[in-house]
Structure 1
Amino acid sequence: MSSAKKPRIMLRQATIADLDTLVAFCRDAHEESYLSGIPFSEEKAFKLMTNCVSDEHPNLISILAEANEKPVGYLCAAAGEYYVGTETLLTTVHVIHVTQSIRRSLLGGKVAIRLVRGIKQWSDQIGAEHLLFHITSDIRPAQSDRFMRKMGFRTLGGNYAK
């Protein structure tokens, strides 16, 4: 019988103390993405993540996933009104990222599920009526689509690039 400890996955809203980790995750996600040819700006990533953890921007959130107290993924989202609508709040997820080292494992799948459930809970708590994911990284798009459908989401269209 194995005595290996089962990884414990914890989600929490990121704080100012997590900025270096968040910026590193931003870099990792960028370097793997379709847009990796665009120079990465540490300064812009730091500013965005600072806003996500600031009390001054309650419509922004960054959720950090940890397995056995080690950061293994994050999600960054914003809440606001539809661009030509009023009185309806929606949450838009800009990034969901699980570290490459665990992404294709059972643990990676569990982390992704927890991140999706975590943003759904936050979105519900703030009264958002819609939860939208913008998946434009081009990292395993067929698997991402299958995962999102299993999580209860549907396709509203597509992302196209040239």
Structure 2
Amino acid sequence: MPDPIMKRDEDRGPAEARKLYSFRLVESKQDIPAVIELARCAHEESRLGYIPFSEAKTQKIAENAIKDPTRHAVMLALKAEQPVGLLFCSVGEYHIGEGILLATIHNINVLKEVRASLSGGRAALGLLSGAKQWANARNARELLLHATSDVELPRLHKLAKRAGFGLIGGSYARLL
């Protein structure tokens, strides 16, 4: 008989699963190593994993979010205080428009082993909810989610719909 105190993610109910995760903005350079490691994991499993990973560029993204949180955000999903998910977003004007702010999620990823658990979707939904709150606080009109990783796209589509996103187009790639 399993120990009732030591539950696996799969054995927890919805309320317990929600409590498994916490979410926060990256506000300190102390978080940068975790951001780099989560970004590296996301990059390695993406379709662009053949491109050499840049710790320096990833660090710059995190530093920009710390330095200018009005325009950039990096969010972490934590399970038992350990980083298991990452979201990077920014807000700005449409590239050929003015006067209206749009928020864009450039990257969202939850570690593969966490995604595989029954509560893994909660980590991603929590990150998306955090991005929505962040974008609302900056008076963005829309929150855009770009999916170019080619990782579990049907699952991402289902998750995005559940989080209130509508499909507005697609991303296409051609090797040269």
Say yes or no: TM over 0.5. yes
Aligned-pair RMSD on alpha carbons?
A: 1.4
Match of 1:35 in 2: 48
Q: 1:25-71 deviations in whole A, cap 9, x for unaligned?
A: 111111010111111111111112211222x4520000111111111
What secondary structure does 2:40 align onto? helix
Q: 2:62 matched to 1:60?
A: no
Contact (CA 8 Å) 2:70, 2:138: kept in 1 or not? no
CA distance in 1, matches of 2:145, 2:164: 12
Asked whether 1:74 is paired with 2:86, we answer: yes
The equivalent position to 1:44 in structure 2, one of 37, 57, 73, is: 57
Give 2:125's aligned amino acid.
I
Which of structures 1 and 2 has the bigger CA Rg?
Answer: 2
Deviation at residue 150 of structure 1 after TM alignment: 1.7
Tell me if 1:8 matches 2:10: no
Runs of 4+ aligned structure 1 residues displaced above 3 Å come to: none
Structure 1 gap ranges (5+)? none
TM norm structure 1: 0.94
Question: For residue 39 of structure 2, what is the aligned residue in structure 1?
Answer: 26
Question: Is the CA contact 2:110–2:123 (under 8 Å) kept in the aligned structure 1?
Answer: yes
* Structure 2 portions without partners, runs of 5+: 8-15
What's the counterpart of residue 102 of structure 1? 114
Cα distance, 1:107 vs structure 2: 2.2
Q: What one-letter code is carried by the residue in structure 1 that aligns with 2:72?
A: L
Cα pair 2:26 2:62 within 8 Å, conserved: no
Give the alignment's TM-score, normalised by structure 2: 0.86
Do structure 1's residue 126 and structure 2's residue 126 form an aligned pair? no
Residue of structure 2 equivalent to 1:138? 150
